Structure 1
Amino acid sequence: MEDNLIEIFAANEMYKIDIIRELLSEADIESFILDQKGRSFLIGDIHLFVNKEDEEKAKSIISKHDM
């Protein structure tokens, strides 16, 4: 993982990640997904990352939408 990325959200359901990615995109924040779900067993989390300089803004957006 890149040194300039920081995790801001994790979920086990992709639709939650998609909602947050759309909100971040509307605010011109680029995001990246790391999906750690297994193929055979659908366990594990999906992690969402942003650049460190966007961390505060991204967390503010997420908290405003109760995610």
Structure 2
Amino acid sequence: MSENWVKVYTTGDAFAAEVLKQGLIEDDIPAVVINKQLSAYNIGEIHVLVNKVDFDKAIEYIVKNEIE
């Protein structure tokens, strides 16, 4: 993956990560989800990444929507 992508959110909930990704995309902030969980046990982390230039906008979106 390109070094231009940075992590803005980490969770253990795949659904929450996908919802956040879709919200960011709808707000014109390109985003991707990287799932690092062991699929059989759902152990591990899921990261939501955005482009470096969109980092501040993504953090604003997360704060504005009270995403924990």
Larger displacement relative to structure 2 (18-27 or 47-56) = 18-27
Measured in 2, the distance between the counterparts of 1:42 and 1:15 equals: 12
Please report the TM-score for the alignment, with normalisation by the length of structure 1: 0.90
Q: TM-score scaled to structure 2, two decimals?
A: 0.89
Aligned to 1:14: 14
Aligned to 1:34: 34
For residues 20 and 40 of structure 1, the distance between their equivalents in structure 2, rounded to whole angstroms, comes to 23
Give the corresponding residue for 1:59.
59
- Aligned residue identity for 1:54: D
> How well do the aligned residues superpose, as a CA RMSD in angstroms?
1.1
Equivalent residue pairs, number: 67
Partners of 1:12 and 1:39 in 2: CA distance: 12
Which contiguous aligned blocks of 4+ residues in structure 1 show a shift greater than 2 angstroms?
Answer: none
Give structure 1 stretches of 5+ with no counterpart: none
Structure 2: which 5+ residue stretches go unaligned? none
Residue identity over aligned pairs, in percent, reads 27
Q: Say which SS state the counterpart of residue 49 (structure 2) adopts.
A: strand
Q: How many angstroms apart in 2 are the aligned matches of 1:56 and 1:45?
A: 22
Cα deviation, 1:28-57, whole Å, max 9, x if unaligned, reads 111111101002321001101000000000
Distance 2:26 2:39 in 1: 31
